Amino acid sequence: MSDQSYDPTAVEAKWQARWAERHTNEPDLDNAERPFYNLMMYPYPSAEGLHVGNFYAFTGADVHGRFRRLQGYDVFEPMGYDAFGIHSENYALKVGINPAELIPRNIANFRRQLKALGAMFDWRHELSTTDPSYYRWTQWIFLKLFEAGQAYKKKAAVNWCPTDKTVLANEQVIAGACERCGTMVEQRFLEQWFFRITDYADRLLANLDDPSKMDWSPSTSSAQRNWIGRSDGAHVDFATHTGPIRVFTTRPDTLFGATFMVLAPEHPLVDALTAPAEKAQVEAYRLAAAKQDIVSRKIGDKEKTGVFTGGHAINPATGESVQVWIADYVLMEYGTGAIMAVPGHDERDFAFARKYKLPIVRVLASADEDGSTPLEEAAPDVEGGHLVNSGPFSGMPEAQGFAEIVSWLEREGKGKGVAQYRLHDWCISRQRYWGPPIPIIYCTDCGAVPVPEKDLPVLLPALEDFRPDDSGVSPLARSTEWYNVPCPKCGKPAHRETDVSDTFLDSAWYHLRYLSTEFADRPFDPHRVKKWLPVATYIGGNEHAVLHLLYARFVCMVLHDQGYLPFDEPYRKFRAHGIIVKDGAKMSKSRGNVVVPDQYIARWGADTFRMYLMFLGPFEEGGDFRDEGLAGPRRFLDKVWDLVEQCERQTLMGVELRHEIVVKWHQTKKKVTTGLESLSYNTAIAALMELMNALRASNCAAREIVKDVIVMLAPFAPHFAEECWERLGRETSVFEAKWPTWDEGLTLELRIDVPVQVNGKTRGKITVQRGAKEDDVVAAALRDEAVRRFIDGQRIKKRVWVQDRLLNLVVG
């Protein structure tokens, strides 16, 4: 290869073939000594192929995996396909081809692209969620959750997308519209399977703050906290003639200011409370509220409306009778579906009270007030506030009032302190075709019977017509020979559940399956689980912060509690990568600025493309993709190529190293290592470029330095590094090499240019030996003409000497 210029196409083809032949990227899963599970989010195999965002994420994760490999870990880096789900099915509907036919084609294209990237995927463990050998175990997981009492069926108001003709999880509804097609969702009532993720709300929250279990990007943890949405407050019972109405409040300290109550229109006590005279208007209001979709109900800034039921309740604190209203700003699905209205200290209640002329009482006042002045607007936060008009609690600071009213309620049996969560149970039913059938059989005698494990998988029947319809029943019901089965318990005629499960159930456990894809008789092998899990590093997009990542944690916890897993958090370290934009704008088909990776790889080579992606900005922040930018990394690789050639020609005598070069070399090893550790790939690459420039400037092609450059380059440009390694006369893969270490002492220069400041402004510079004494430096500084000019005979009041860094003289 000598004397030839760098030809990425040839180099990449050669090394990809060798890696496959030599099984370079296939760790021994049973006997690995230092297992390191490097996971990235698997893609859904679209017809368009992988886009640059996928390549960015995968490259960043692969760089990390290759770095760990070079540090001596046995790295397992698998890849697969999230091929079930609405996205795949909708596309199949659009082109009129069964997804079972379409998906393998898309996967073949994805595999081709993934191989071109040159990542260290272990192809022996590739998986697709649509393989019966995979979804058999997805169904098994459903059964385990069912056994644990974590799966249940209920009729519920659900988000129905009229375009996709299916139920959507709350997480899939964005601003009232289907996240996929943008259609406004409607409210429907259907029998659905749910998982009791709310049982785990506190644990899901607590583990986020446990560094021994989780080291996650703050943005991701924060998104999960918001999503779980814990509020601390109290349940309070208000007595009525038909029994108590229970409310949830986060402000028990304002209990004395509760001058009326509001129930959600659907609240079960409304009928009993409504006075005959008010019946007509209550019914009309309830009807109007029911017609609204779930979403527009929740739009916050609209005019408050409501009607009086004619009923009354007793405020347990004041003993006074208060009116009970219904209004659609109170939601049945949060808290108890009923509130105590405190108009003095809640904006919504205030607006409502003003509109319907209900009493407003002030129960909080700031330190210098007695609370006698009427409120002009709601005062939810009173700084340094204390309770007023609150009987025996008057005068107490807010926090104390909160605590004492709660304990008073508990003593009196009229309420108790509780936490409330925003999180809802996870609805996993989908009335669609392209998913794993939920393994349940309905029998008129035995009810919902789980399919016995030996009968798994429940195969998805081949359907000619797999279009969803408006009935709310899955297309699977159309296959009668599939639908009708004997009851596994009693043998009488029964029928299958026709819903399939949510795609997020597939992805909630794929990290468990990768390790054990060759085992047909178990979902995951316990020894491998113990050796390799939890995942050491997981890298992916933050769009999955509250969907996939929360569900995967939940499933892991349940499996742990059932004794299947020895840990309860699946991903020890998670890092969210940034987003790539093109020329400052979001990529979109309509804008025509979508970057298709293939053409860049064809033109520049995968290594240059990888380098550029990792160099264009901090990995966790993303960056701006500009075509011109690829030239930089490519020029850099060309220069390294030439340098390697110089080494090849070099005699064995080597090159005498100047101390500055040695320092630069050691500094680079340190910077690249720490940069890779913290995913600061852009600065790691910059450090390599600097070293390169220094070597060229001093015309120094020292073999031992060039060798290190190649090793440090290997995570970013693996094919290129392998080729250079070979040209340097090495016979094994560069990934068998040891990661370079540095000598801390050699990262420090011998002679240092110390800036001399006068009153904080740099006025001169003196060169000193490292370790120079303060007095000597000051003396030298005072000989400097520029420094003297600024001191100008003034007295030095203070001198600040930072060893080997800086001298600051304060005068005046």
Residues 165-224 that bind RNA (CB under 7 A): 170-171, 174, 218-219, 222-223
154 strand-pairing partners: 192
In the complex, the smallest distance separating the C-beta of residue 638 from RNA, rounded to whole angstroms, is: 7
Cα gap 512→39, rounded to integer Å: 11
Per CB under 7 A, which of residues 492..531 are in contact with RNA? Answer: none
Cα gap 356→124, rounded to integer Å: 69
In the complex, the smallest distance separating the C-beta of residue 477 from RNA, rounded to whole angstroms, is: 32
Name the residue nearer to RNA (CB basis): 143 or 409. Answer: 409
Cα gap 386→389, rounded to integer Å: 10
The DSSP bridge pattern shows strands 573-577 and 215-216 to be: parallel
Per CB under 7 A, which of residues 379..418 are in contact with RNA? Answer: none
Q: Using an 8 Å Cβ cutoff, are 703 and 711 in contact?
A: no
Which of the stretches 160-168, 474-482, 567-575, 689-697 binds RNA when contact is defined by CB under 7 A? 689-697
Of 437, 434, 461, nearest to 450 by C-alpha is: 437
Name the residue nearer to RNA (CB basis): 249 or 507. Answer: 249
Name the residue nearer to RNA (CB basis): 80 or 633. Answer: 633
Q: Which residue has the tokens 């195969």?
A: 459
Among 686, 737, 768, 778, binds RNA (CB under 7 A): 686
Cα gap 127→107, rounded to integer Å: 10
CA count, 13 A, side-chain hemisphere, 624: 6
Name the residue nearer to RNA (CB basis): 479 or 808. Answer: 808
In the complex, the smallest distance separating the C-beta of residue 302 from RNA, rounded to whole angstroms, is: 5
Q: Give the other-Cβ count within 10 Å of 164's Cβ.
A: 22
Which of the stretches 332-340, 554-562, 711-719, 738-746 binds RNA when contact is defined by CB under 7 A? 332-340
Which of the stretches 110-118, 205-213, 652-660, 684-692 binds RNA when contact is defined by CB under 7 A? 684-692
Which of the stretches 276-284, 487-495, 542-550, 774-782 binds RNA when contact is defined by CB under 7 A? 542-550
474 lines the binding site for RNA (CB under 7 A): no
In the complex, the smallest distance separating the C-beta of residue 781 from RNA, rounded to whole angstroms, is: 13
Cα gap 729→737, rounded to integer Å: 13
Give me the torsion for CA of 592, 593, 597, 603, rounded to 10°. 100
Name the residue nearer to RNA (CB basis): 163 or 803. Answer: 803
Task: Give yes or no for a cis peptide into 457 (omega within 30° of 0).
Answer: yes
Among 763, 777, 781, 791, binds RNA (CB under 7 A): 763
Among 682, 708, 717, 724, binds RNA (CB under 7 A): 682
In the complex, the smallest distance separating the C-beta of residue 545 from RNA, rounded to whole angstroms, is: 7
In the complex, the smallest distance separating the C-beta of residue 758 from RNA, rounded to whole angstroms, is: 9
46 strand-pairing partners: none
CA count, 13 A, side-chain hemisphere, 631: 4
Among 319, 376, 697, 792, binds RNA (CB under 7 A): 697
Q: What is the 3-class SS of 4-65, one letter each residue? A: CCCCHHHHHHHHHHHHHHHCCCCCCCCCCCCEEEEEECCCCCCCCCCCHHHHHHHHHHHHHH
The DSSP bridge pattern shows strands 426-427 and 186-195 to be: antiparallel
Per CB under 7 A, which of residues 51..90 are in contact with RNA? Answer: none
In the complex, the smallest distance separating the C-beta of residue 641 from RNA, rounded to whole angstroms, is: 11
Per CB under 7 A, which of residues 1..40 are in contact with RNA? Answer: none
Q: What is the 3-class SS of 195-248, one letter each residue? A: ECHHHHHHHHHHHHCCCCCCEECHHHHHHHHHHHCEEEEEEEEEECCCCCEEEE
Per CB under 7 A, which of residues 635..664 are in contact with RNA? Answer: 635-636, 638-639
Which of the stretches 20-28, 201-209, 559-567, 677-685 binds RNA when contact is defined by CB under 7 A? 677-685
Cα gap 679→61, rounded to integer Å: 9
Tokens at residue 100, please? Answer: 């079972």
In the complex, the smallest distance separating the C-beta of residue 613 from RNA, rounded to whole angstroms, is: 11
CA count, 13 A, side-chain hemisphere, 256: 20
762 lines the binding site for RNA (CB under 7 A): yes
Among 126, 266, 293, 690, binds RNA (CB under 7 A): 690
CA count, 13 A, side-chain hemisphere, 622: 20
In the complex, the smallest distance separating the C-beta of residue 637 from RNA, rounded to whole angstroms, is: 11
Number of residues that bind RNA (CB under 7 A): 94
In the complex, the smallest distance separating the C-beta of residue 107 from RNA, rounded to whole angstroms, is: 28
The CA angle 672-677-682, to the nearest 5 degrees, is 50
Q: Using an 8 Å Cβ cutoff, are 313 and 239 in contact?
A: yes
* Coil vs helix vs strand at 636: helix
Among 93, 205, 689, 734, binds RNA (CB under 7 A): 689
168 strand-pairing partners: 159
Per CB under 7 A, which of residues 412..451 are in contact with RNA? Answer: 420, 422
Name the residue nearer to RNA (CB basis): 694 or 734. Answer: 694
Which of the stretches 15-23, 121-129, 676-684, 739-747 binds RNA when contact is defined by CB under 7 A? 676-684
In the complex, the smallest distance separating the C-beta of residue 678 from RNA, rounded to whole angstroms, is: 9
Q: Which residue has the tokens 């000193």?
A: 768
Cα gap 720→118, rounded to integer Å: 11
In the complex, the smallest distance separating the C-beta of residue 242 from RNA, rounded to whole angstroms, is: 20
In the complex, the smallest distance separating the C-beta of residue 190 from RNA, rounded to whole angstroms, is: 20
Name the residue nearer to RNA (CB basis): 247 or 512. Answer: 247
In the complex, the smallest distance separating the C-beta of residue 345 from RNA, rounded to whole angstroms, is: 9
Name the residue nearer to RNA (CB basis): 335 or 385. Answer: 335
158 strand-pairing partners: 188
Name the residue nearer to RNA (CB basis): 738 or 798. Answer: 798
In the complex, the smallest distance separating the C-beta of residue 803 from RNA, rounded to whole angstroms, is: 9
Q: Which residue has the tokens 């289907």?
A: 178
Name the residue nearer to RNA (CB basis): 479 or 759. Answer: 759
Which of the stretches 29-37, 407-415, 462-470, 681-689 binds RNA when contact is defined by CB under 7 A? 681-689
Cα gap 664→694, rounded to integer Å: 8
Tokens at residue 708, please? Answer: 């290190």
Cα gap 308→246, rounded to integer Å: 18
DSSP assignment of 114-167 equals HHHHT----GGG-EETTSHHHHHHHHHHHHHHHHTT-EEEEEEEEEEETTTTEE
Per CB under 7 A, which of residues 343..382 are in contact with RNA? Answer: 346, 348
Per CB under 7 A, which of residues 94..123 are in contact with RNA? Answer: none
Length of the chain: 812
Among 317, 545, 559, 676, binds RNA (CB under 7 A): 545
In the complex, the smallest distance separating the C-beta of residue 449 from RNA, rounded to whole angstroms, is: 35
156 lines the binding site for RNA (CB under 7 A): no
String of contacts with RNA for each residue 601-640, x by CB under 7 A: --------------xxxx--xxxx-x-xx-xxx-xx-xx-
* Coil vs helix vs strand at 698: coil
Per CB under 7 A, which of residues 272..331 are in contact with RNA? Answer: 297-302, 304-305, 328-331
Which of the stretches 10-18, 27-35, 51-59, 757-765 binds RNA when contact is defined by CB under 7 A? 757-765
Give the C-alpha distances (Å, rounded to integers) separating 662 from 61, 327, 742, 749.
31, 76, 10, 9
Give me the torsion for CA of 774, 775, 780, 783, rounded to 10°. 140
782 contact partners, CB below 8 Å, separation of at least 6: 788, 791
In the complex, the smallest distance separating the C-beta of residue 799 from RNA, rounded to whole angstroms, is: 9
Per CB under 7 A, which of residues 246..275 are in contact with RNA? Answer: 247-251, 264
In the complex, the smallest distance separating the C-beta of residue 139 from RNA, rounded to whole angstroms, is: 29
Name the residue nearer to RNA (CB basis): 226 or 741. Answer: 226
